[in-house]
A and B are shown apart, each in its own frame.
Chain A
Amino acid sequence: MKVKVEFIAIERPKSGSADNGETIEVANGAAVSEALLSLNLGRTTSFLTLVNGDPVPPEERANTRLKEGDTLCLFRPLKGG
């Protein structure tokens, strides 16, 4: 199935990763954690996730299933200043 991926304030390696706003192919019913594995995130180890705008806490990524057409957004846990 197809899932749209968005990156915010995250540096991605030049190759192997989806571009911002790109649609990627994941297995039907894939969990958020599985979709993340298919993205080559390089040295980015700390990030937060939204599915269709709602936060998915890190501990719930393995249990949160994606659906066709979902938007998975990855962003850095920025702090204000």
Chain B
Amino acid sequence: MAWQRKILRVDLTAGICTAEPLNMEWAAQYLGQRGLASKYLAEEMDPKADALSPENRLIFATGPLTGTAAPTGGRYSVITKGALTGAIACSNSGGYFGAELKLAGWDMIIFKGKAPKPVYLWIADDRAELRDAEGFIWGKSVWEAEALIKARHQDPQIKIASIGRAGENLVRYACVMNDLDRAAGRSGVGTVMGSKNLKAIAVRGTKGVAVEDPKAFLAAVTRARELLGASEVRDDLAKNGTQSMMDVTQAFGSLPTRNNRDVQFEGVEKLNAAAMATRRRTDGRANLITNKACFACTIGCGRVVRMDPTHFAAAGKDRYLTASGGLEYESGYALGPMVGVDDIDAATYANFVCNEQGMDPISFGSTVAAAMELYETGAITDAETGGIPYVFGSAEALVNAADLTGSGEGFGKDLGLGSKRLCEKYGHPEFAMVVKGQEFPGYDGRAMQGMALAYATSNRGACHLRADPYEDDFSGGKLEGKAKIVKTTEDQNTVVDATGLCAFTMMIWSLEEVASQLDAACEGDWTVERLRDTGERIWNLERRFNLAAGFTAADDTLPKRILKEAANSGSGKGKVAELSKMLPDYYEQRGWDPDGVPTTQTLQRLGIG
């Protein structure tokens, strides 16, 4: 129950779709979504294979609670070897696509090979077939492709996950987009999709999802929903989205600014939640129109926004003047302080282009920031940028970068490499604010030491969602306690990513609420303890994949800037990230040897063969 017990295998090289029973033994050990798909990935591919080779697998996976009435139970993840990082990648998305896939009767889709010509996958409940994308949606943006697919199949209810031109052009941080502005955003999962000549998955599902004990499930869901409803945190998320964070990191001094040279940004008041809600002079409207929610979500943190119609970026481009998905904290930081830009409309425009062409705004913004530092030092000149001065604070450069990277033209080809490859190409690898090749989210590890450790140890490269050191960091917790907090919350966040629920629920719930809903929905006993063990099992499986792919303890590190150059303001003033003081403790907490390799005992304890 809760699982549909069926996976769809798609051999893109041969053009064949086949149904197969879900491995329920693995489901009992790895639950679903991030966990179960990582197990299939690790079993089926050589971790050393190139991420862009046909040998890489691309897995779209739901969790057992996806498609149920559990609050936020609409999530799916894309699991693959990441094109940006070469590490195991798992990018999670909301919207409605994941639930629709589950309602069509599938737990998971596993793609292998490479289609000889561009294709899209069409699923109508049990029926699945590959269709020609050439001359139809190949070469189109995400927004255009969605409209064309819905028109061709004559059904506005179809849910679509697709890549934009960025994925087709193999921009290293291309996303898989769904429902126009939701993204499985990080690590280049859309790049892998592009390398397989797979443009889109369109799905229509009309079945239900059965749960083991409907009465108990309803009670657990009601309780979980009540907790959300009574929460002040929920109210803030609905009102301000995740953007409240910008005021917090600004006050704390952990807001990455100008490629992490600074940790506080003087232009925050032009970009923050209050700025989004303030009416502008030109047309009397605010950037923020309303909030919106994903499938079954009672939080509704999504932003629906509108640009200033008089802004230079949108001149003559009407498609950007309609309401669309707006800035959240991570995109807001990367398209604002990180590039030193305080122009909310330029940042909104760049975010629209990221959605339209399927690019991760975190990696994109951070790459533009690296390019600005390269320009400042003269490593990049007007010859590369086409005469546009790529200086910190330039809204023109940001808009230009979005246009060119989205379309794959001119300097956009360089920007599409991501920070690491770009900075290596121009002789300054130290300017890349990355871990394992993935750009930083919006937290500086000098004021937030737990986050520094979380970035360094994240299996998919720098990530703000892999662990939960926030409260301890923000309350000035001691260095000695960080390893345990990071390890414990990594396990917790990992298992939530395997359920079908949104990670944001954990701002309000504890694992108790997750366990009670899962236990009622699924066969077998799902206790908090079992969930923690499952999270730890998945984490170690991911680690093993990365080690087999060639990563070592030397990759559990941070850029020199964060390790050696002290923060210049805020609560971390005068401090660097003390990674070397935390990492040995972290390995010990994990049951790994000093080289960061899980010991035989640890693997046995977790039942990893």
Contacts and interface: CB of A to CB of B under 8 A. Distances in A.
Interface string A19-41: 00000000000000000000000
A23 to B, nearest CB: 17
B571 A53 contact: yes
Interface string B475-510: 111000000000000000000000000011011000
Given A44-B232, A48-B471, A81-B301, A8 B248 contact: yes
Interface stretch (B22-30, B236-244, B529-537, B550-558): B236-244
Given A55-B475, A55-B476, A81-B330, A76 B242 contact: no
A16 interface: no
Nearest to A42: B232
B251 A81 contact: no
Interface residues of B, number: 35
Contacts of B55: none
Nearest to A55: B476
B470 A79 contact: yes
* Of B248, B443, B507, most A-chain CB atoms within 10 Å: B248
Interface in A38-81: 43-44, 48, 50, 53-58, 73, 75-81
Contacts, number: 85
B252 interface: yes
Contacts of A55: 252, 474-476, 571
B247 to A, nearest CB: 5
Contacts of B442: 80
Contact of B507 (A50, A53, A73, A79): A79
Contacts of B171: none
Contact of B465 (A50, A57, A80): A80
Interface string B233-262: 101100010101101100111000000000
A63 B330 CA distance: 36
A6 to B, nearest CB: 7
* Of A48, A55, A81, most B-chain CB atoms within 10 Å: A81
B301 A9 contact: no
Contacts of A43: 232
A49 to B, nearest CB: 8
Given A9-B236, A53-B570, A54-B571, A81 B475 contact: no
A80 B247 contact: no
B571 A58 contact: no
B476 A56 contact: yes
Contact of B475 (A9, A48, A53, A78): A48
B244 A9 contact: yes
B328 interface: yes
Contact of B236 (A48, A53, A76, A80): A76
Contacts of B100: none
6 contacts: A50-B252, A55-B474, A75-B251, A79-B471, A80-B242, A81-B465
Interface of A: 6, 8-9, 11, 43-44, 48, 50, 53-58, 73, 75-81
